[in-house]
Amino acid sequence: MHIGEYVKGGVATYVKEVTDYQQNCKEIEEIYLMASDNNSDRDFNLPGNKLLFYRYKRDIKNVFKAMLQISRHIKQIEPDIVHIHSTFAGVFVRFPLFFKKKSYKVVYCSHGWAFLMDSAPFKKKIFIFIERLLSIKTDKIINISLNEQNKALEAGFLPKKLELINNGVNTRIRKGQTKLDVEKQKINLLFVGRFDKQKGLDILINFFKTYETTNIQLYIVGDSVLKNSQVEIPENVINIGWIDNQELDSYYEICDAVIIPSRWEGFGLVAIEAMKNKKTIIVSDRGALPDLAKNDNGYVFSLDDLGTLRIILDSLNKEDLKLKGLNGYNYFIENFTSEIMNREIVNLYRQIR
């Protein structure tokens, strides 16, 4: 039984890959998914009686209601393994286990530790305390990147409970139609993601306000409204807006490189989606991103010194970008496919059963 809170975006992509695989796995008899009825995707490939939603909005008065609803469904279904996705769902499932006997195995994936976010030191200490406390009621914790694994060890989690299973995406290319004619003589960069603080789009936009070049064109794909930001998109940046996931590979295809300026990143699905499409990645020096660019498949710039980004952009040429893109594709095939990820998750289930 998979349980999440707001199952959307990267978490939804992950859960869809996992549940699709497990429905065809001979070792797994039944699959259930339970998510918040607010802010969660609905297009999961599961029968109606296996897809459950609980009433919830993210505020303190709804936390205990969510716990009760989830506990009731777990008791009714009696799963062998409960696989939890994301921080809040981790609280909803595991906190009640301090007050009742646990009759199932618990696997937890934070999809990016809360204590690694860009927040005040005292908040990070609180997050570490809560996560370590809840780990007592957890059989295995999946870390989605080497950086997440190492940071969990540094925070004092028991090594025997930690399992590194890199995020993965399907090798299938989703062909769609783009409404975009790029200038092929230019180096075309693509940003894909939410327009929020974590993804660092405001940093990139402000950089391009002062970066004067006729050789590079930046395109951005994501929400059409900048949230919590007063930054205006300059004329030398083209805002494509939000596009359907099924068309996304077509946009990767027509660009030369993908740029990811995140302030923090538990893994970086956009990076491996770019690699799948044989594109060079240009990433910030935060979280798991530098590890994804270490196979001569990209560049790393300092978020504290954007002069490093300027040096990288000034040095780009299409031949090098093509070679690095091919290196990235090979790196992806060997390490970051959903097939590899899913096999390792099922092996983990087998260990704890």
Torsion sign, CA atoms 311, 312, 317, 320: positive
Q: Are residues 226 and 108 in the same domain?
A: no
- Among all chains, which residue has been given the structure tokens 């020096």? 285
Q: What is the pLDDT of residues 141-186, one digit of tens each?
A: 999 999 999 999 999 999 999 999 999 999 999 877 787 888 899 9
Question: Which is more confidently placed, 60 or 77?
Answer: 77
Q: What is the residue whose two structure tokens read 């549940």?
A: 19
d(CA 309, CA 247): 29
Domain interval for residue 317 = 187-335
Same domain, yes or no, for 82 and 197?
Answer: no
The answer to whether 327 touches 320, Cβ cutoff 8 Å, is no
Whether 45 and 51 have beta carbons less than 8 Å apart is answered as no
Please provide the size of the chain in residues. 353
Domain presence at residue 90: yes
CB atoms under 10 Å from CB of 71, counted, come to: 15
* Distance, CA of 109 to CA of 259 (rounded, Å): 26
For the sheet with 33-36, list strands across it. 51-54, 33-36, 2-4, 81-85, 105-109, 140-143, 162-164
User: Based on the domain organization, do 255 and 271 belong to the same domain?
Assistant: yes
Q: How confident is the model at residue 231 (pLDDT cuts 50, 70, 90)?
A: low
Give dist(CA 33, CA 49) in Å, integer. 10
Q: Is the confidence at residue 226, as pLDDT, over 70?
A: no
Tokens 């300059």 appear where?
234
Indicate whether 69 pLDDT > 50: yes
* Residue range 247-275, pLDDT digits in tens: 889 999 999 999 999 999 999 999 999 99
Q: DSSP labels for 235-262?
A: TTEEEEE---GGGHHHHHHH-SEEEE--
DSSP letters for 75-126: HHH--SEEEEESHHHHHHHHGGGGSS---SEEEEE-SS-GGGSS--HHHHHH
Q: Give CA–CA dist 27/348, Å, rounded.
A: 12
The residues facing 216 across adjacent strands are: 187
The residues with which 217 forms a beta bridge, in sequence order, are: 188
Q: Are residues 127 and 201 in the same domain?
A: no
Q: With 50 as the cut, is the pLDDT of residue 210 above it?
A: yes
Give the chain's domain count. 2
Q: Where does the pLDDT of residue 208 fall: very low under 50, low under 70, confident under 90, or very high at 90 and above?
A: very high
pLDDT band at 227 (very low <50, low <70, confident <90, very high): very low
pLDDT tier at 118, thresholds 50, 70, 90: confident
pLDDT at 15: 96
204: domain CATH number is: 3.40.50.2000
Report how far residue 191's alpha carbon sits from residue 238's, in angstroms, rounded to the nearest whole number: 10
Q: How far is CA 344 from the centre of its chain?
A: 18
Residues 208 and 289 occupy one common structural domain: yes
Residue 229: is its pLDDT beyond 80?
A: no
Determine, yes or no, domain membership for 179.
no
Q: 225 and 206, same structural domain?
A: yes
Closest to 53 (Cα-Cα) out of 37, 76, 73 = 37
Looking at the structure, tell me whether residues 230 and 273 fall in a common domain.
yes
183-197, 204-218, 233-247, range with the lowest pLDDT: 233-247
> pLDDT tens for residues 119-130?
899 999 999 999
pLDDT tens profile 283-337: 999 999 999 999 999 999 999 999 999 999 999 999 999 999 999 999 999 999 9
176 falls within a domain: no
| Whether residue 311 sits in one domain with residue 225 | yes
* pLDDT above 80: residue 228: no
| 103 found inside a domain | yes
